[in-house]
Amino acid sequence: MESSSSGSCVHEHHIAGTLYHWVVLFAVWLCGSQHVLSQKTTLEPKDKFLLSDPPIGLFDPIEISPSVLPHNPNPVEPLSPMYPNYTSYDPVLTGKCHVNFSALSYIIDKTASDCSIPLAPLVADVICCPQVNSLMNIFQAAYGSGNDTLVLSQTSANACFSDVMSILASKGANTNIPELCTLRPSNLTDASCPVKDIRSFEKIVNVSKLLDACSSVDPLKECCRPVCQPAIAEAALHISSGGSNMFGSSSIPGSVAGIDIVSDCKGVVHSWLSMKLSSEEANSAFRVLSGCKVNKVCPLEFDEPSSVVKACGKASSSTPSCCAALHSYIGKRQKQIFVTNLQAINCATMFGSMLQKAGVVDDIYGLCDIDLKDFSLQGCLLRSLPTDIEFDNTTGISFTCDLSDNIAAPWPSSSSVQSLSLCAPEMSLPALPVSPKSGSSVGTSRTGIGVLLSLVVFTTSITI
């Protein structure tokens, strides 16, 4: 229950204090958490394009270094499904991490599958890193549940982090997860947060309100009408001051150091929630929250499109050189990663705005038949809702492609477009034209991944 001092604090302060509270809270929402960040690329787009709704969130967009793999020399012919080409083994553990790993088998197995050796670099942005982050939150709670703590000491964190990565690798996960997702043992310590034990946490935070907001996160509503995200941010802000007067204290200035403290405290809030929810419930909630941020950013790099501008400056339907330049440029931008359908809309709008600013007036997406799937590896758009890598004896390792038909990429109405709302009821998605091939506008398909002579190559084979 929330302490009486914390309750009276909110009621006794004047309007200026209240405004300061929300200003700080807004800054917390914007800063995002360092727990889910994947490795940043060396080159970044000059124009960062973000979906505008909502202006809050807990997880920063994930940016990964592209992994360039051999192209399928025969892309029309589907390859055989991919089956695990590794042999599980008993990991060598430190013996210094006192956790019942068997109790975490569900979440560990799911994470190992989502970060499997060949796929992790290609789906790190939307599948692997969000799932690893969720595992770390749940593991942190499992460690502390027996001793009234919500964090690990640095010594314990070092040993447990090593053990977790070893167990994942023994189950077929990529060994580069720490680099892909920018994970460190310190992610388990949340060192700068002043509240680290359960008793103090529950004295300061209105835990009933927090649990009500996050016990069941609606994947269809949370990103546009957030309930859990602001509840977590508010709880983190409260404990970042140790329950003291946050308005009169100088311990949480609007500085980088102050925001880092609140960011660590969000990790403590995640740990507490993981204790109160089942592993399945906690994992579902964390995946939805990370997805809200992932889908707001285009993970592809767009360097200066001079070749496209030169060929398409005065484009017309009878200008094959324009379409050739456009298809070549977009093909290279894929960077061998999969993106979600919402990320593809983001990328298409961002790139179109860049072209308009450079003088390309005509809708060259329409002229050259550019579809949303052209922005994702092998034309497979992942679903915007959290998804996982699946395995069965028939299809092998696979995942679901969304919007598999030829959905036209949206050409921005103005070069000044810098944000796109996908939350308003009247602006949920661009018009989805009927595919001339299938007569269907929206669909899902199963994409298998094949392995040939240790080289990872991709197939667009579809099984419905």
Chain centroid, CA 354 distance in Å: 25
Instruction: Check whether 85 has a pLDDT greater than 80.
Output: no
Rounded-to-integer distance, Cα 6 and Cα 245, Å = 8
Structure tokens at 163: 């053990």
| Residue whose tokens read 């324009």 | 322
Rounded-to-integer distance, Cα 284 and Cα 289, Å = 9
Instruction: Check whether 83 has a pLDDT greater than 90.
Output: no
**pLDDT top residue among 458 and 318:** 318
**pLDDT top residue among 130 and 315:** 130
Rounded-to-integer distance, Cα 384 and Cα 424, Å = 16
- Spatial contact of 219 and 288, defined as CB atoms under 8 Å apart: yes
Rounded-to-integer distance, Cα 427 and Cα 448, Å = 33
Instruction: Check whether 106 has a pLDDT greater than 80.
Output: yes
Rounded-to-integer distance, Cα 137 and Cα 267, Å = 7
Residue 169's contacts (CB-CB under 8 Å, 6 or more residues apart) are: 91, 175
Instruction: Check whether 35 has a pLDDT greater than 80.
Output: no
- Spatial contact of 139 and 99, defined as CB atoms under 8 Å apart: yes
Q: How confident is the model at residue 343 (pLDDT cuts 50, 70, 90)?
A: very high
Rounded-to-integer distance, Cα 360 and Cα 353, Å = 9
What's the chain's average pLDDT?
A: 75
Strand-pair category, 396-402 with 444-452: antiparallel
The per-residue pLDDT for range 298-319, each reduced to its tens digit, is 999 899 999 999 999 875 555 8
Average pLDDT value for residue range 390-404: 72
pTM: 0.74
Rounded-to-integer distance, Cα 163 and Cα 154, Å = 14
Chain centroid, CA 216 distance in Å: 19
Average pLDDT value for residue range 230-259: 70
**pLDDT top residue among 100 and 35:** 100
Average pLDDT value for residue range 209-216: 96
Q: How confident is the model at residue 452 (pLDDT cuts 50, 70, 90)?
A: very low
Average pLDDT value for residue range 163-190: 95
SS3 category, 397: strand
Predicted local confidence at residue 420, as pLDDT = 58
Nearest to 331 by CA among 300, 359, 297: 300
Secondary structure letter of residue 427 according to DSSP: G
Average pLDDT value for residue range 152-177: 96
The per-residue pLDDT for range 350-396, each reduced to its tens digit, is 999 999 999 998 999 999 999 999 999 988 999 888 989 887 767 66
CA distances from 425 to 57, 170, 252, 296, 402 (A): 20, 46, 38, 17, 21
Predicted local confidence at residue 259, as pLDDT = 76
Average pLDDT value for residue range 112-117: 93
